Amino acid sequence: MQKAWFYNEYGSIDVLQFGEFPVPKPGPGEILLKIRAAALNPVDYKKREGLFRSADCDFPAVPGCDAAGVVVEVGDGVSKFKIGDEVYSDIQNFTAGRPKQLGTLAQYTLVEEHLVAPKPTNLSFEEAASLPLAVLTAQEAFDIAKFEKGQSVFIVGGAGGVGSLAIQLAKHVYGASRIVSTASTGKLDFVKSLGADLVIDYTKQSYDQISEKFDFVFDTIGEAAKSHVVAKEEAKVLDIGVAKEDDMASFQPHPRAEFFLVSSSAHNLEKLQPYIESEKLKPVIDPKSPYSFSDVIEAFKHLESGRARGKIVISPIE
């Protein structure tokens, strides 16, 4: 048995419990990962509140998508990794079927080999754990938009886990000519330091007061019904925000916007490795992190407050 956080019913943070959970055995193509650090994402609490109710895993469910750790056992057919390798992964591929019952807020988890990438050599376990889901989401958004070098991008929510990485990707990977983002008053300088050319204080200026139009609008917080007005007529508008009370089966994005769920991919993480190891793409970890494994409730409260800056990390897992 191992220690893990889990819930047996949908609901608020009060349904989370800490206790014992079986340690699984890896099947063919699977890796058993000893988790050294994990990270929280909004999907973790939205799922707990019933976001995937129509196609969810069985109870008890262990939250968590992101992890960095050490390979401790491999199943038949695993060839890329061996015991002792340091790796990281977004273990939940929501586009490939039902979410896994055993997430990453545990001492051990199972993950398919094709979702696992070597941990960048310059990153700590905490830094590595902060990246997978958020950076893959931002990367996929630019790819879906068919973003081209020299185009402009408007990123809603530049201080968040996805937004903070989207700004860096726009600047250093996709060659954006102009990057404009939004943030609250206290986070303007922080977002500008990530590479934004202009940061708009959303507490003082609404979208319809922005005269500039952009080649791509990436809304990371679910405001596409308003933010689409800054898109050029032919521009792509992508939205990844879903309200807590929505069920994915009935969720409908704004007609001007397209909603997507990220496809977890070790291949895409590996494509970004040179940018990470050259420090052109840097993890952004919330100043209150890391939270200890026993303080997961406090970590979720901070995430659900909407005040986090970058990613919230849980470490050590012990």
What CATH number did the domain enclosing 25 receive? 3.90.180.10
- DSSP 8-class letter at 283: -
Q: Write out the H or E segment, with its range, that includes residue 224.
A: helix 224-227
- 32 occurs within a structural domain: yes
Q: Is the separation of the CB atoms in 68 and 125 below 8 Å?
A: yes
- Together in a domain, 181 and 219: yes
Name residues whose C-beta falls within 8 Å of residue 15's C-beta, 6 or more positions apart in sequence.
Answer: 7, 8, 9, 48
Q: Do residues 202 and 229 both lie within one domain?
A: yes
pLDDT in tens, 8-40: 999 999 999 999 999 999 999 999 999 999 999
Last residue of a domain, one of 243, 259, 275: 259
Residue 241: the pLDDT is 81
Is it the case that residue 225 has pLDDT exceeding 80? yes
What are the residues whose beta carbons fall under 8 Å from the beta carbon of 267, sequence distance 6 or more?
Answer: 114
Instruction: Decide if 230 is inside a domain.
Output: yes
Q: What's the domain range around 96?
A: 2-130+283-314
pLDDT of 233-282, one tens digit each? Answer: 999 999 998 655 555 655 677 889 999 989 999 999 999 999 999 999 99
Note whether 120 and 159 are same-domain residues. Answer: no
Give the residue from 304, 246, 189 showing the smallest Cα distance to 53: 246
What kind and span of H or E run contains 4? strand 2-6
Inside any domain, residue 214: yes
Would you say residue 97 has pLDDT above 90? Answer: no
User: Is 266 part of a structural domain of the chain?
Assistant: no
Measured CA distances, 134 to 53, 220, 263, 302 (Å): 22, 10, 11, 17
Q: Is residue 42 a part of any domain in this protein? A: yes
Tell me 61's DSSP state. Answer: B
